């Protein structure tokens, strides 16, 4: 066997995602001719960009062998607390908003890391507890009223566009400048995972934590990095969300963990850790976003969407698990 | 199954309950120890208490069941649909409840099959399950709550026999059944064996697939009982009732001494833990420190983390002694 | 004589009052293959951890290449050229062969970047050095055990290893793979690398080692050229006793308990036939991969046979699952006690009842009283050293644990008891207890099959033995055979 055979490439999880995305697009396109257009691409890009940012952080955590269900709560805190402080104290500075959002993410990331890496609690339960802690605490101490008058400097970003496309119908579609953030993050994380020892260390501890320790990786430090980095980009993503919505809502994002984890798993990341690629996650997010945002176009009523998304996720996770099972049982070379 | 470490955590629970009771006796003796207050507490906890027993089973088997809320709502919706469709006859209530339980069993079997046969991690299966079952519920209701349930249906969650709420009897009955299953049946022992070491269980001739499916089926049925109570309580059925219960049930079982790695824990601890959390919640209400309920979420989260950390530290100490 | 690479003097180490090492001396020269032998719990693994810097010794001196080192840390040990290959190899299943091999070098040099080209180059170089052939881009999870070990060896040698420690390297290898491993070890030896192998299989030690050091209960017992040891001395030093020459010889009995005819499972064993008469303790032996373990798995329905007949007490039975086996009163004590045989956190009572819990469901509920009585009975009959049935099994010694694992099955009153490696990791005292139990059972009419590669155990305790080779029955012999001949039969050097 030399290099990867064509068959391996064609049956990889990434390619399966591509097939499904193409097939789904054709189905929706054949039902609704408006679908196959530049406008759809722009709308979809905008719709999935925040999920994409969250998914990147979560993917790192899962690859390292953990899981983090606290990020929606972290995101809510990271968007609401800075805006609240700015509005109450008359601060009008974009850097403050983003900076504080990232710091909040870092702090809670550090808390997650401490609980999972140092105290060694099961990550799911630990982060669930942290989620409740943050969400309850923030609503109790900072209030739960949505803030719709964002500070001017922050709100202004929502009107900065990379480009604007005018459809034949005359409607205009603009892509926000914030879209650069997930793009840069994706490239950065992909390079980090592939070409730095830190990135390889994340895979190593996800594959076999004990072996990683013996080999000389600082397991605790890598976990701190993973959870804190995930926290930081969650903060960043949350502020983007806030700007895109042009309002700071302290609970809208709660419950989004399901979609994000699903997109990651559909994208080929193994929930047990050690396996996962940025490109797979991007495809997974696009696929789930496509289903979530365009089923209406295909004639599926809005109230059946959750079910259809659930079905896709069940299929996606089953395929990934069955593949892993098959590899485990296959003949060894 | 008597074990020293479990007795330890049960003792802690008794102490914590005593602390709350004494604190309230000092702070608000008049309101807290009134019949109306006791009654209002009893009306609240069976809903999530029964759900917590399902979570307990899943966790003892070495898994987790995050789909309970989804199962509860779906069962409630199916029951409501049937009752409304049949015009609210008394027999429709019976059929509706049977259907609800069947829905719970089927959803649970699906979870169990995915976990036991396809070997997808329980966490992922039940997280997907939550989405799937909620999705079906949403599809059936098309969004808004289903109303117009028969009046006598309200009785389950809101009625009383004398001064004692009906739900208390339901809760006690369910606890008794689960207690019996866990302690006096072959399945109860097998699920503990599987949770302790599934490989050794297989080598001891235990049919892990059967035990897994059984576990999630019972868990699903408990979810649907809870769903019946929720719909009866609200007198309507909706796809997103009780969304905070997932965390709450997890907190209850962990606090009640169920080990997240599986195998260990018992019904008594979970029941005490249910009582403790209800007391805390009620104390918050009466002291009026938490009008929105957010403080409660905060305290629950903090409690969960503190209890887990304390357990870990206790375990370390024990090891050090050896 | 070659230069001394490592010298230990009076190494002592205790854990919470338990003295694991009570003053061990060791000297290892460059280009020498040194065997460290000792029974389980003799302090071998602690000693390895002291050398690799994972444990600090309480007392004693360590000299590496003549220089005294203090406060040895794992990374220092690696930098000085000491590499340990653990029993589980500590490789990453989710990474490629190349990356696994290159990983430690990168970590050692403190590199920040991952150089894939360099990794591939290093991997190919290392594989050439030891003559291994693997695709550098394949994920390690797809490799066989032997190839995973190759990866671990490659990883060790590219780090300029001067001293290689292999912890029980042959336990999971087939005969061919062992040969290949030894070839590699000889190659490394020629390059002047010092090698220490932890092993207690005498035949392998004779084949590959130059020097031998024996430990017992944390104490240094003896050391010398391999030629100074014969089997008798080796066993005496290892166990502290002379070889017992008692053999198990039951009275002849014509009653047949088990007859197996032409049993086949493709890829595991084929056309296996044998009979077991009342009173027999039947030994099944063979090298790893010979099908000995697979045969046991098939009898218990774990990986059922695809064709052939199994006749138990005169009745032909079908075994397609564990449930089938249990319904026909077949019991199986698996090889890996810790993960397959026992529930470590559970009590002795729970463990004893695990396979027979169904029998205690009476009148609609479980009868705890009966379970307690039965467990207490077994504790007495089988001689488990414990004050009661309550302690967790984890707290017992290996020997007592194994007794409970056997009691679990005896409580199902089996007609046939198959034991795979019944005394692995069991102390001498418990070992003879267990053998006595097996003999008693056999005389009482239970069919006993012992699957083992412990030749002295087989010769002393079985009255009949089957030697498996390449999935087939190669020899059927009685216990007049001696261990050396038996060893030759295993590898096919003697007999058909």
Separation of alpha carbons A309 and A321, rounded Å: 18
CB atoms within 10 A of CB C255: 10
For residues C416-433, average pLDDT: 85
Answer yes or no: are the C-beta atoms of C83 and C164 closer than 8 Å.
Answer: yes
Q: Which residues of A touch B308 (CB under 8 A)?
A: 119, 121, 125-126, 129
| Strands laid side by side in the C67-69 sheet | C18-29, C4-15, C59-64, C67-69
Q: Where are the domains of chain A?
A: 6-327
- Res B186: pLDDT: 95
Task: Give bridge partners of residue C8 from the DSSP assignment.
Answer: C26, C62
Task: Give bridge partners of residue C283 from the DSSP assignment.
Answer: C450, C465
**B5: pLDDT confidence band, cut at 50, 70 and 90?**
very low
Among A244-253, A298-307, C353-362, C461-470, which stretch is predicted with the lowest mean pLDDT? A298-307
**Which of C87, C110, C114, C148 would best serve as a mutation to test chain A binding (most A beta carbons within 10 A)?**
C114
Q: Which of B104, B47, B130 is nearest to B221 (CA)?
A: B104
Helix axes B90-116, B122-141, angle to 10 degrees: 150
Helix axes B208-234, B90-116, angle to 10 degrees: 140
Task: Take residue C464 and report the two structure tokens written for it.
Answer: 């009949």
Nearest C-alpha in B relative to A307:
B135
Residue pointed to by tokens 């056997």: C406
- Res C320: pLDDT: 94
Residue B242 has pLDDT above 90, yes or no: no
Separation of alpha carbons A252 and B6, rounded Å: 40
Report the predicted TM-score, pTM, of the whole model to 2 decimal places: 0.87
- Measured in degrees and rounded to the nearest 5, phi and psi for residue B225 equal -60, -45
- C266 Cβ under 8 Å from any chain A Cβ: no
**Distant-in-sequence, close-in-space partners of C251: CB < 8 Å, separation ≥ 6:** C279
Separation of alpha carbons C162 and C148, rounded Å: 21
Nearest C-alpha in A relative to C87:
A211
Answer yes or no: are the C-beta atoms of B199 and B263 closer than 8 Å.
Answer: no
* C residues 283-302 lying closer than 8 A (beta carbon) to B: 302
Which is it for strands C4-15 and C18-29: parallel, antiparallel or unpaired?
antiparallel
What percent of chain C is modeled with pLDDT above 90? 50
Domains within chain C, CATH numbers bracketed: 4-239 (3.40.50.300), 256-491 (3.40.50.300)
Among A11-20, B40-49, C355-364, C399-408, which stretch is predicted with the lowest mean pLDDT? A11-20
Q: Please work out, in degrees rounded to the nearest 5, the angle formed at the alpha carbon of residue B68 by the alpha carbons of B67 and B72.
A: 120
B317 by Cβ neighbours in 10 Å (0-12 / 13-18 / 19+) ranks as: exposed
**Which of A267, A292, A307 would best serve as a mutation to test chain B binding (most B beta carbons within 10 A)?**
A307
Q: Which residues of C touch A274 (CB under 8 A)?
A: 92-94
Separation of alpha carbons B290 and B273, rounded Å: 21
Separation of alpha carbons C164 and C69, rounded Å: 18
Separation of alpha carbons C375 and C369, rounded Å: 10
- Res C242: pLDDT: 67
Q: Where are the beta strands (DSSP E) in C278-329?
A: 281-286, 307-312, 315-317
Domains within chain B, CATH numbers bracketed: 41-282+293-305 (1.10.3470)
For residues C205-234, average pLDDT: 87
What does the H/E/C string look like for C206-218? HHHCCEEEEEECC
CB atoms within 10 A of CB C245: 7
- DSSP code at position C2: P
Helix axes B35-60, B186-196, angle to 10 degrees: 60
Separation of alpha carbons A147 and A85, rounded Å: 11
- C303 Cβ under 8 Å from any chain B Cβ: no
CB atoms within 10 A of CB B41: 17
Q: Which residues of A touch B292 (CB under 8 A)?
A: 139-140, 144
Per the prediction, chain C carries an average pLDDT of: 88
Answer yes or no: are the C-beta atoms of C391 and C375 closer than 8 Å.
Answer: no
Answer yes or no: are the C-beta atoms of B73 and B137 closer than 8 Å.
Answer: yes
Nearest C-alpha in A relative to C49:
A214
Q: Which of C92, C135, C145 sits opposite A207 (nearest CB)?
A: C92
CB contact under 8 A, A333 and C142: yes
CB contact under 8 A, C340 and B264: no
Residue B284 has pLDDT above 90, yes or no: no
- Res B10: pLDDT: 82
Residue C220 has pLDDT above 80, yes or no: yes
CB contact under 8 A, C343 and B183: no
Q: Which of C99, C36, C422 is nearest to C226 (CA)?
A: C36
What's the gap in Å between the CA of B306 and the closest CA on chain C? Answer: 24
Nearest C-alpha in A relative to C146:
A333
Query: Per-residue DSSP letters for B163-213?
Result: TEEHHHHHHHHHHHHHHHHHHHSHHHHHHHHHHH-HHHHHHTT--HHHHHH
Rounded (10°) CA dihedral B227, B229, B235, B238: -10
What percent of chain C is modeled with pLDDT above 70? 98
For residues C200-222, average pLDDT: 85
**B307: pLDDT confidence band, cut at 50, 70 and 90?**
confident
Q: Which residues of C touch A216 (CB under 8 A)?
A: 74-75, 78, 104, 107-108
Q: Which of B205, B57, A84, B145 is nearest to C330 (CA)?
A: B205
Report CA Rg, chain C.
24
Q: How high is the ipTM of this complex?
A: 0.86
Task: Take residue C387 and report the two structure tokens written for it.
Answer: 């004050």
Residue pointed to by tokens 């290996």: C398
- Res A2: pLDDT: 42
Nearest C-alpha in A relative to C52:
A214
CB contact under 8 A, A314 and B119: no
- Res A150: pLDDT: 92
Can you say whether the dihedral through the CA atoms of B80, B85, B90, B92 is positive or negative? negative
What percent of chain B is modeled with pLDDT above 70? 95
Task: Take residue C176 and report the two structure tokens written for it.
Answer: 């061919």
Task: Take residue C105 and report the two structure tokens written for it.
Answer: 């070098």
Query: In chain A, count of helices (H) and strands (E)?
Result: 14, 2
Separation of alpha carbons B132 and A299, rounded Å: 19
**C1: pLDDT confidence band, cut at 50, 70 and 90?**
low
- Give the domain A6-327 fold: ABC transporter involved in vitamin B12 uptake, BtuC (1.10.3470)
Q: Which residues of C touch B1 (CB under 8 A)?
A: 350
* B residues 107-126 lying closer than 8 A (beta carbon) to A: 114, 118-121, 123-125
Task: Give bridge partners of residue C35 from the DSSP assignment.
Answer: C197, C212
pLDDT tens-digit profile of A222-240? 999 999 999 999 999 999 9
Task: Take residue C379 and report the two structure tokens written for it.
Answer: 């504790």
H/E segment holding residue C417: strand C416-420
Q: Which residues of B touch C353 (CB under 8 A)?
A: 189
Q: Which of A1, A204, A332 sits opposite C95 (nearest CB)?
A: A204
Separation of alpha carbons C466 and C284, rounded Å: 5
Residue C144 has pLDDT above 60, yes or no: yes
Looking from the CA of A227 toward its CB, the CA atoms found within 13 Å total 29
More confident residue, B102 or B303: B102
For residues C289-315, average pLDDT: 92
Digit-by-digit pLDDT tens for chain A (333 residues) are 344 567 777 778 788 888 888 988 888 888 888 888 888 899 999 999 999 999 999 999 999 999 999 999 999 999 999 999 999 999 999 999 999 999 999 999 999 999 999 999 989 889 989 998 999 999 888 888 899 999 999 999 998 998 888 888 888 888 999 999 999 999 999 999 999 999 999 999 999 998 998 888 999 999 999 999 999 999 999 999 999 999 999 988 987 888 898 899 888 898 889 999 999 999 999 998 988 888 877 788 888 888 888 888 788 778 877 877 787 777 666
Answer yes or no: are the C-beta atoms of B82 and B147 closer than 8 Å.
Answer: no
**B179: pLDDT confidence band, cut at 50, 70 and 90?**
very high
- A2 Cβ under 8 Å from any chain C Cβ: yes
Answer yes or no: are the C-beta atoms of A158 and A247 closer than 8 Å.
Answer: no
What percent of chain B is modeled with pLDDT above 90? 57
* B residues 272-291 lying closer than 8 A (beta carbon) to A: 290
Touching subunits for chain A (3+ Cβ pairs under 8 A): B, C
- A198 Cβ under 8 Å from any chain C Cβ: yes
- Number of residues written out for chain C: 496
- Res B4: pLDDT: 43
Nearest C-alpha in C relative to A218:
C107
pLDDT tens-digit profile of B18-59? 998 998 888 888 888 888 888 888 999 999 999 999 999 999
**Which of C354, C371, C421 would best serve as a mutation to test chain B binding (most B beta carbons within 10 A)?**
C354
Residue pointed to by tokens 């459809």: A167
What's the gap in Å between the CA of A227 and the closest CA on chain C? Answer: 20
CB atoms within 10 A of CB A184: 10
Helices (H), C247-397: 292-299, 322-327, 348-353, 368-382
Answer yes or no: are the C-beta atoms of C419 and C227 closer than 8 Å.
Answer: no
**Which of C334, C342, C357, C405 would best serve as a mutation to test chain B binding (most B beta carbons within 10 A)?**
C357
**Distant-in-sequence, close-in-space partners of A245: CB < 8 Å, separation ≥ 6:** A252
**Which of B59, B128, B246, B254 would best serve as a mutation to test chain A binding (most A beta carbons within 10 A)?**
B128
Which is it for strands C269-277 and C256-265: parallel, antiparallel or unpaired?
antiparallel
CB contact under 8 A, C366 and B263: no
- Res A1: pLDDT: 39
- Res A4: pLDDT: 56
Query: Per-residue DSSP letters for A15-79?
Result: HHHHHHHHHHHHHHHHH-TTSSSHHHHHHHHHHHHHHHHHHHHHHHHHHTT-----HHHHHHHHH
Q: How far is CA B88 from the centre of its chain?
A: 28
CB contact under 8 A, A200 and C95: yes
**Distant-in-sequence, close-in-space partners of C315: CB < 8 Å, separation ≥ 6:** none
**Which of C107, C127, C151 would best serve as a mutation to test chain A binding (most A beta carbons within 10 A)?**
C107
What's the gap in Å between the CA of C262 and the closest CA on chain B? Answer: 25
H/E segment holding residue A225: helix A219-245
Answer yes or no: are the C-beta atoms of C140 and A330 closer than 8 Å.
Answer: no
Query: Per-residue DSSP letters for C109-148?
Result: TT-SB--HHHHHHHHHHHHHHHT----TTSBGGGS-HHHH
- A98 Cβ under 8 Å from any chain C Cβ: no
For residues B96-108, average pLDDT: 97
């Amino acid at each position: 066997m030399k290099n990867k055979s064509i068959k391996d490439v064609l049956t990889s999880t990434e390619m399966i995602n591509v097939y499904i995305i193409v097939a789904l697009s054709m189905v929706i396109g054949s039902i609704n001719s408006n679908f196959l257009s530049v406008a759809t691409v722009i709308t979809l890009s905008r719709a999935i960009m925040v999920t994409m940012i969250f998914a990147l952080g979560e993917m790192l955590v899962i690859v390292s062998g953990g899981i983090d269900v606290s990020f929606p709560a972290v995101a809510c805190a990271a968007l609401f607390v800075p805006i609240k402080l700015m509005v109450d104290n008359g601060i009008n500075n974009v850097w403050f908003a983003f900076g504080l959002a990232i710091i909040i993410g870092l702090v809670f990331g550090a808390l997650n890391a401490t609980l999972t890496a140092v105290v060694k609690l099961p990550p799911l339960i630990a982060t669930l507890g942290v989620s409740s802690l943050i969400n309850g605490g923030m609503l109790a101490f900072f209030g739960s009223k949505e803030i719709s008058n964002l500070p001017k400097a922050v709100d202004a970003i929502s009107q900065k566009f990379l480009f604007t496309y005018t459809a034949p119908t005359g409607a205009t579609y603009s892509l926000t400048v914030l879209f650069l953030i997930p793009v840069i993050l994706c490239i950065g994380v992909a390079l980090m995972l592939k070409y730095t020892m830190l990135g390889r260390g994340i895979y190593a501890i996800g594959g076999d934590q004990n072996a990683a320790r013996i080999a000389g990786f600082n397991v605790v430090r890598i976990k701190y990095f993973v959870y804190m980095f995930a926290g930081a980009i969650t903060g960043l993503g949350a502020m983007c969300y806030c700007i895109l919505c042009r309002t700071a809502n302290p609970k809208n994002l709660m419950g989004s963990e399901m979609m994000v984890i699903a997109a990651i798993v559909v994208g080929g990341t193994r929930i047990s850790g050690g396996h996962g690629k940025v490109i797979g996650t991007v495809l997974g997010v696009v696929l789930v976003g496509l289903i979530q945002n365009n089923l209406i176009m295909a004639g599926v009523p809005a109230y059946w969407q959750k079910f259809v998304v659930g079905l896709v996720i069940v299929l996606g996770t089953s395929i990934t698990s069955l593949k892993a099972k098959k590899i485990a049982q296959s003949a060894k070379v | 199954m008597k074990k020293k470490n479990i007795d330890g955590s049960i003792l802690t629970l008794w102490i914590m309950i005593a602390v709350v009771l004494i604190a309230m006796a000092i702070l608000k003796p008049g309101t807290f120890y009134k019949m109306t207050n006791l009654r209002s507490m009893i009306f609240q906890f069976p809903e999530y208490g029964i759900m917590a027993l399902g979570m307990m089973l899943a966790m003892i088997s070495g898994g987790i069941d995050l789909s309970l809320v989804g199962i509860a709502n779906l069962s409630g919706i199916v029951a409501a649909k049937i009752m409304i469709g049949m015009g609210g006859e008394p027999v429709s209530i019976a059929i509706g409840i049977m259907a609800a339980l069947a829905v719970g069993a089927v959803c649970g079997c699906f979870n169990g099959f995915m976990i036991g046969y396809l070997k997808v991690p329980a966490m992922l299966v039940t997280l997907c399950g939550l989405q799937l079952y909620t999705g079906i519920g949403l599809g059936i209701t098309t969004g808004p709550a289903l109303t117009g349930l028969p009046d006598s249906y309200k009785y389950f969650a809101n009625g009383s026999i004398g001064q004692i709420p009906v739900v208390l009897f339901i809760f006690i009955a369910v606890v008794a059944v689960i207690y019996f299953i866990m302690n006096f049946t072959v399945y109860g022992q097998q699920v503990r064996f599987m949770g302790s070491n599934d490989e050794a269980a297989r080598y001891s001739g235990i049919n892990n697939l059967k035990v897994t499916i059984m576990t999630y089926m019972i868990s699903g049925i408990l979810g649907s009982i809870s769903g019946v109570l929720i719909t009866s309580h609200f007198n309507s059925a909706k796809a997103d009732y009780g969304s905070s219960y997932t965390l709450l049930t997890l907190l209850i079982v962990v606090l009640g001494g169920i080990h997240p790695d599986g195998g260990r824990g018992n019904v008594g601890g979970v029941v005490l833990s249910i009582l403790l959390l209800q007391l805390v919640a009620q104390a918050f209400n009466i002291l009026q420190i938490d009008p929105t309920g957010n403080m409660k979420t905060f305290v629950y989260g903090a409690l969960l983390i503190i209890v887990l950390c304390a357990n870990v530290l206790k375990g370390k100490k024990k090891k050090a002694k050896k | 004589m070659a230069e001394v690479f490592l010298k230990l003097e009076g190494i002592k180490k205790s854990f919470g009052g338990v003295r694991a090492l009570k003053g061990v001396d060791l000297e290892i020269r460059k280009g020498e293959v040194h065997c460290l032998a000792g029974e389980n719990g003799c302090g071998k693994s602690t000693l390895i951890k002291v050398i690799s810097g994972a444990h600090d010794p309480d007392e004693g001196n360590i000299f590496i290449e003549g220089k005294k080192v203090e406060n040895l840390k794992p990374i220092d040990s690696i930098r000085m050229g000491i590499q340990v290959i653990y029993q589980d190899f500590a490789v990453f299943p989710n990474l490629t062969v190349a990356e696994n091999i290159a990983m430690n070098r990168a970590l050692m040099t403190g590199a920040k970047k991952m150089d894939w080209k360099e990794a591939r180059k290093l991997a190919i170089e290392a594989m050439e050095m030891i003559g291994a052939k693997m695709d550098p881009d394949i994920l390690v999870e797809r490799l066989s055990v032997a190839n995973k070990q190759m990866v671990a060896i490659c990883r060790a040698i590219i780090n300029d290893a001067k001293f290689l420690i292999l912890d029980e390297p042959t336990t999971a290898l087939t005969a061919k793979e062992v040969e290949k491993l030894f070839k590699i070890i000889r190659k490394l030896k020629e390059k002047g690398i010092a090698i220490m192998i932890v092993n207690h299989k005498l035949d392998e030690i004779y084949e590959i080692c130059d020097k031998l050091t024996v430990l017992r209960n944390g104490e240094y017992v003896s050391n010398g050229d391999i030629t100074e040891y014969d089997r008798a001395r080796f066993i005496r030093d290892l166990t502290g006793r002379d070889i017992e020459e008692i053999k198990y010889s039951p009275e002849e009995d014509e009653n047949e308990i088990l007859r197996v005819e032409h049993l086949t499972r493709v890829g595991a064993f084929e056309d296996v036939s044998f009979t077991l008469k009342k009173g027999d303790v039947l030994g099944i032996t063979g090298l790893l991969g010979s099908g000995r373990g697979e045969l046991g798995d098939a009898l218990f329905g774990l990986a059922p046979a695809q064709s052939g007949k199994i006749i138990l007490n005169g009745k032909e039975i079908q075994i397609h699952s564990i449930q089938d086996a249990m319904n026909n009163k077949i019991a199986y004590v698996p090889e890996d006690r810790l993960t397959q045989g026992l529930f470590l956190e559970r009590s002795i009572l729970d463990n004893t009842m695990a396979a027979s819990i169904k029998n205690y469901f009476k009148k609609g509920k479980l009868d705890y009283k009966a379970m307690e009585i039965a467990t207490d009975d077994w504790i007495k009959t089988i001689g488990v050293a414990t004050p009661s049935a309550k302690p967790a099994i984890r707290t017992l010694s290996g020997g007592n644990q194994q007794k409970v694992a056997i009691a679990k099955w005896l409580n199902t009153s089996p007609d046939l008891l198959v034991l795979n490696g019944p005394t692995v990791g069991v102390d001498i005292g418990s070992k003879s207890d267990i053998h006595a139990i097996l003999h008693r059972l056999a005389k009482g009419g239970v069919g006993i099959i012992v699957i083992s590669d412990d030749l002295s155990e087989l010769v002393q305790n079985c009255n009949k033995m089957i030697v498996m080779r390449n999935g087939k029955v190669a020899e059927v012999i009685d216990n007049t055979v001696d261990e050396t001949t038996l060893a030759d039969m295993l590898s096919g050097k003697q007999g058909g």
